[in-house]
Amino acid sequence: MPRHSETSVPRTAGHASPYAVARWCAENGWPVHPLAAGRKTPAGNCAYCRATTHRPHQCPCHAKGKWCHGFHAATTDPQLLDAWWGSNPTLGVGVSCGPARLVVLDIDAHSVKVPDRDRLLPGIPIHESVNLDGLASGFDTLALLAALRGKKSPADDDSTLRVRTPSGGLHVWYQAPSHGPHYKSSVGSSPNVALAWQVDIRATGGYIVTPATRTPAGTYRALGTTRMPAALPSWLATELHRTGHPVNKLPAPSSRPSPRSAAPARKRAHGLLEPLLAQVEACASAPEGTAFTEKLNRAAYTAGGLVAAGHLDHNQAHDLLTAAADAARPHRHRHSSAVISSALSAGASRPLHLKGHP
C-alpha cells in the first residue's frame, strides 16, 4: 500500500476510506484502533475476552495482533492496520488520545435543561448581572469562558483541526507538548472536573472519532482547510490545570499511613481495588445485562474509602475508575463519570482502614 502524505487524506476526508484515514493518523504518530462498522464505539472484543475477566494491560490478545479492549489496543503498526482494515474495510477509526498527546474539546449541542449558572463554568462564579439568555449548549459556555479570558473561542479556531459531528457538535483537536503533563478525560456535566458545561475533554483514558467515520446519523467531517492539530493554547492549558485535568502519576503525600508503612498499604489498597476494576472491565463482553452500574458503583465506593483512609490518591483512583469504565462502556462516559463522582464521595465518608494501619 502506498504511504499517504500529511494532507492527502484529510483534504478529502469526507470520502477517504477508513484504512486511508487510519494510515494517515498512524503516520502522524497517533495510535489508532477499530470502531464497530457504522458506529462510534470500539469494535467488540474476541470471544476469549468476552468470556474472561482480565485487565486490558494483561490481555494476551494484543500480542497476537487483535484489537480487544478498545483504545488499549491502539497502534501505529502498519502491518496491524493492513490486517485489521484489510479484512474489515468498513470498520471506523478511533485515535487513542493519551499516547498521541492529543487534547480534544468535544463540544456538545444536546437539547437538555441548562443547569444553574454556578455549574456552567465550574470554579468560575458568573455574576447575576451577566445575561445568559439564549445560552443552550457547549458552544455558548466555551465562548463565555473564552470571552472571560479575552480569547477567541476554540470553536472558531481555524488554525487547528475541527471536526463536525453528525449530532451537530464539534471536535476541536489540539496537540499537547511532549514535555508537558498528560491530561485526563472529563465530561462537561461533571460536578468536580469539567472545563465547561457540555464541553467534554478527550485526552488520557479516552479516544476520539476521526474524520470520515460514518454512522447512521451521518459522517464526521473536517471543517475548513486546516487538517492538523495546532499546539494547545497556553490559556487553555492554564484552564485545564485550574480544573484539575493534569494526570497525577504519583500518589500525593499523605500523613496517613506513615512513610514506613505507606508502600505496603498502597499495595494492599490496589490489591483490594484491582478485582473490582476487573469486574467493571469484564462488562465489555456484553452490551447489557452485566450490572455495569452496580459494579462501577461498588468499585468507586471502595476507592473512596481507601482515599479517605490515606491509602490511595484521589486523582489516581479517579483515573483508574474512569479507564475501567471507558473500557467497558466507552459510549456511556457521561453516565460513568456521574457514578464515579457520586460513589467516590459517598465512600469517602467511611474511611476504609486496612488491617495493621490506623
What mean pLDDT is reported for the chain? 83
Last residue of a domain, one of 46, 68, 97: 97
DSSP string over 127-139:
-TTS--TT--SHH
Inter-residue contact 304 to 347 (CB < 8 Å): yes
3-state SS class at 164: strand
**Whether pTM exceeds 0.75:** no
- In what helix (H) or strand (E) does residue 203 lie, and over which residues does it extend? none
* Per-residue pLDDT, 266: 63
pLDDT winner (highest mean) among 82-96, 246-260, 328-342: 82-96
d(CA 288, CA 272): 26
Among 134, 119, 124, 315, smallest CA distance to 198 is for 119
Instruction: Report, as an integer, the average pLDDT of 99-105.
Output: 95
Cell numbers placing 217: 446519523
248 belongs to a structural domain: no
* Structural domains counted in the chain: 3
State which of 97, 128, 159 marks the end of a domain. Answer: 97
Q: Which residues pair with 208 in a beta bridge?
A: 95
Domain boundary among 97, 112, 139: 97
* Cβ-contact 102, 29 below 8 angstroms: no
Instruction: Please check the confidence at residue 330 and state whether its pLDDT lies above 60.
Output: yes
Are 76 and 164 part of one and the same domain? no
**Are residues 268 and 177 both part of a single domain?**
no
Residues 113 and 183 in one domain: yes
> Would you state the cell numbers that stand for residue 66, as one nine-digit string?
487483535
Structural domain containing residue 23: 10-97
86 and 217 housed in the same domain: no
Q: What is the pLDDT of residues 4-49, one digit of tens each?
A: 334 344 444 457 899 999 999 999 999 999 998 888 888 888 888 8
pLDDT digits (tens, 9 = 90+) for 269-324: 777 888 888 888 888 767 777 788 888 888 888 888 888 888 877 777 887 888 88
DSSP 77-119: -HHHHHHHHHH-TT-EEEEEHHHHTEEEEEE---------GGG
pLDDT for 7 equals 37
